[in-house]
Chain A
Amino acid sequence: MIAADTRIGAGTTAAAPPAGAPFLSIRGLTKRYGGHVANDSINLDVYPNEVLALVGDNGAGKSTFIKMISGVHRPTSGRIRIDGKDVEMHSPNDARDAGIETLHQNLSLVDVFTVQENIFMGRELQRKIGGLVPSLDHAEMRRRTEDLFEELGLPKPDMNRTVRALSGGQRQAVGIARLLLDSNVRLLIMDEPMAALGVEESRLVLELIQRLKAKGFAVLIISHNLDHVFQVADRIAILKTGRMVGAVERDEVEHDALVHTIVGGRLPDHLAHRRAENLT
């Protein structure tokens, strides 16, 4: 409810600490694969209107964590609360119904489809002519696609070309626009959205993420590129060997200190109050 209101308003300032109630609240989330603990009692809050970056070495458990909150894997134990209510997610569709959409790495688009066909894949608009004969509403889908791009401040794509002909940045924009078609989406999860993009292209995606935040969405991104993280994130959550070290404000931490935390798995002393176990 709160988020629905903030979404209409313009963006808040980047460094403002998260205020109000979290959209997503995770407590004690654990995933075991046999004897291996991939995620060990993770605590984390995600607020509307913020970009939260999830960082950590390879094997720190980022993907496992993302998969649990996007409904792909079920947690072994722990709680996921959305707007203060406990939810159980058995499939990506459950997560989608709860307002969580995920931009998967490399898997999100059909190369030989046009922009519009990609945006509406799996939820094509279909009317019934005379109440009987199904018929796709191509014109309405086109109109909504154009609206979506305009709303996101993206240049209007060539509707008749396949996405294979687009640049990497444009493709990523289509993938992100696709997630926003559904009007109840609140949290966007992006797994390495700038991977394999050039400098200019990355900038386009980073700008787009800022614009999404300004529209009131919560954005959770995974990135290995700390320069990108410092450019776009309001807060940075650090995972180390399956445990959540803590989540710090971007302005509280220097690049080098962040690298130390990622490698060492311990927050600097002056940030001890940001430790994950302090979340209750």
Chain B
Amino acid sequence: MTDIPTETPDSDRRGFSRRLPAGMVPFLLKYSHVITFLVLFVLASVASPFFLDVTNLLNLVRGASMVGIVAVGMTIVILCRGIDLSAGSIVGVAAVAAAASAGLTSPVAWLLALALCTFLGAINGLLITKLNLQPFIATLAMMIFARGCVYLYSDGGDVYAQGADGMFRWLGSGYILGVPVPVVLFVGTWAIFVYIMRHTRWGRHVYAVGANEEAARIYGVAVDRIKIQVYALSGFLAGVAGLILVSRISVAEPNAGNLYELDAIAATLIGGTAFDGGVGGVAGTILGVLILAMITNLLNLMSVSPFVQMLAMGIIIVVAVVVSDLRNRKS
């Protein structure tokens, strides 16, 4: 057979990369989030003697676990070329629903809350597939609607988890073999979905829908079903985060989970997932979550104002997206 000409990407020879040895740039781009994570980690341990303290590290991950679980769902939605702005509001729904039904024993309260959140997520999916709404618009509407439900039920005040049993608090404050339960839930959820996205047909179909919906449809991928499932899953995971949140203080504040979706989107992008779908993965998202948490933690330990922290995060998001864009254009 004859050789077929291949277009070799020659962008290596342009711009800033000119001075670096060949092969170095793709490597740096590919592992930019890993490198950022390691650099921050070393920086933090040098800058503050308290950073490497086990309690500090566990607290750091525990604090990040709720946004982290939401971010796993968000990553899958974004891989499917969508967005879920309602995730934070659904965290609030779960918190209030679980607090309100805590007296029915924890498992019942949890199931009720999760079923409700999954249902709201599925409605997002139905609006997007059956009414052809843009994901941004459908989930913006759900964000407002779900938060409205929370305020309506709580009348703007806190909802106390009356009659809650010990299990209710265990979810947020307990330990399994010395590891906080929220950390176990976060890392466990993350690991399960890393597996599902890489090694199951369902995961491949999510990527296919996100990368080229038309081709996916032609080749027999049930596009609408995948989308509905993806939004239902995002609702479910937001629900899990809400259960942890309400469990920690046994009170659901009406603004619980407010703006979680934005942190989750930031973590997804920093973790290397492309905003326009089909590229990236859940694996990187844990680094995105931890990078955001470490910045906050580090700046706290250094007594830097939280307002400065916001500036840092804004800059990091821009850098992360530019880098991931460069990487995706190369592969």
Which A residues lie at the B interface, using CB under 8 A?
Answer: 92-93, 104, 107-113, 117, 121-124, 126, 134-136, 138, 153-155, 161-162, 164-167, 169-170, 173, 200-201, 204
- Assess the B5–A122 pair: CB atoms within 8 A: no
Q: A137 — nearest CB in chain B belongs to which residue?
A: B199
- Assess the A112–B1 pair: CB atoms within 8 A: no
- Assess the A112–B204 pair: CB atoms within 8 A: no
- Assess the A126–B219 pair: CB atoms within 8 A: no
Q: Which residues of A contact B155 (CB under 8 A)?
A: none
With contacts A111-B211, A122-B208 taken as known, whether A93 is within 8 angstroms of B220 at the C-beta atoms is yes
With contacts A110-B208, A134-B200 taken as known, whether A123 is within 8 angstroms of B7 at the C-beta atoms is no
Q: Which residues of B contact A166 (CB under 8 A)?
A: 6-7
Q: What is the CA–CA distance of A117 and B199 in the complex, to the nearest angstrom?
A: 12
Q: B202 — nearest CB in chain A belongs to which residue?
A: A134
A133 → chain B closest CB, angstroms: 9
- Assess the A136–B278 pair: CB atoms within 8 A: no
B130 → chain A closest CB, angstroms: 19
Q: Which residues of B contact A167 (CB under 8 A)?
A: 4-7
Q: Which residues of B contact A155 (CB under 8 A)?
A: 1, 3-4
A69 → chain B closest CB, angstroms: 16
- Assess the B2–A165 pair: CB atoms within 8 A: no
Q: Which residues of A contact B25 (CB under 8 A)?
A: none
A127 → chain B closest CB, angstroms: 10
With contacts A122-B208, A124-B201 taken as known, whether A110 is within 8 angstroms of B215 at the C-beta atoms is yes
- Assess the B218–A92 pair: CB atoms within 8 A: yes
Interface residues on B, range: 20 to 34
Chain B 184-212 residues near chain A, CB threshold 8 A: 198-202, 204-205, 207-208, 211-212
Any A CB within 8 A of the CB of B214:
yes
Q: What is the CA–CA distance of A107 and B220 in the complex, to the nearest angstrom?
A: 13
With contacts A136-B204, A162-B331 taken as known, whether A121 is within 8 angstroms of B7 at the C-beta atoms is no
With contacts A121-B221, A136-B204 taken as known, whether A109 is within 8 angstroms of B215 at the C-beta atoms is yes
B211 → chain A closest CB, angstroms: 5
Q: Which residues of A contact B200 (CB under 8 A)?
A: 126, 134-136
Q: B214 — nearest CB in chain A belongs to which residue?
A: A107
Given A108-B215, A122-B216, A123-B220, 4 extra CB contacts under 8 A? A109-B215, A110-B208, A121-B219, A167-B5
Any A CB within 8 A of the CB of B259:
no
B281 → chain A closest CB, angstroms: 12
Which B residues lie at the A interface, using CB under 8 A?
Answer: 1-7, 9, 198-202, 204-205, 207-208, 211-212, 214-216, 218-221, 278-279, 328, 331
Q: What is the CA–CA distance of A155 and B3 in the complex, to the nearest angstrom?
A: 8
Q: What is the CA–CA distance of A204 and B214 in the complex, to the nearest angstrom?
A: 26
Instruction: Please list 10 pairs of residues, one from A and one from B, whose beta carbons are closer than 8 Å in the complex, sorted by A's number.
Output: A107-B212, A107-B215, A109-B212, A110-B211, A124-B201, A134-B200, A136-B200, A153-B1, A155-B3, A165-B7
Contact of A121 among B3, B6, B199, B215 (CB under 8 A): B215
Q: Which residues of B contact A122 (CB under 8 A)?
A: 205, 208, 216, 219-221
Q: What is the CA–CA distance of A92 and B218 in the complex, to the nearest angstrom?
A: 8
- Assess the B4–A113 pair: CB atoms within 8 A: no
Q: Which residues of A contact B4 (CB under 8 A)?
A: 155, 167, 169-170, 173, 201, 204
Q: What is the CA–CA distance of A16 and B7 in the complex, to the nearest angstrom?
A: 39
- Assess the A170–B211 pair: CB atoms within 8 A: no
Q: Which residues of B contact A153 (CB under 8 A)?
A: 1
Q: B274 — nearest CB in chain A belongs to which residue?
A: A112
Q: B329 — nearest CB in chain A belongs to which residue?
A: A164
Contact of A165 among B9, B218, B328 (CB under 8 A): B9
B11 → chain A closest CB, angstroms: 12
Q: What is the CA–CA distance of A136 and B195 in the complex, to the nearest angstrom?
A: 10
- Assess the A135–B199 pair: CB atoms within 8 A: yes
A99 → chain B closest CB, angstroms: 16
Q: Which residues of B contact A109 (CB under 8 A)?
A: 212, 215
B219 → chain A closest CB, angstroms: 4
A167 → chain B closest CB, angstroms: 5
B79 → chain A closest CB, angstroms: 11
- Assess the B201–A126 pair: CB atoms within 8 A: yes
Most buried by A among B200, B212, B214, B278: B212
With contacts A165-B7, A167-B4, A200-B5 taken as known, whether A108 is within 8 angstroms of B218 at the C-beta atoms is yes
Q: What is the CA–CA distance of A204 and B5 in the complex, to the nearest angstrom?
A: 11
A72 → chain B closest CB, angstroms: 9
With contacts A126-B201, A153-B1, A155-B1 taken as known, whether A121 is within 8 angstroms of B9 at the C-beta atoms is no
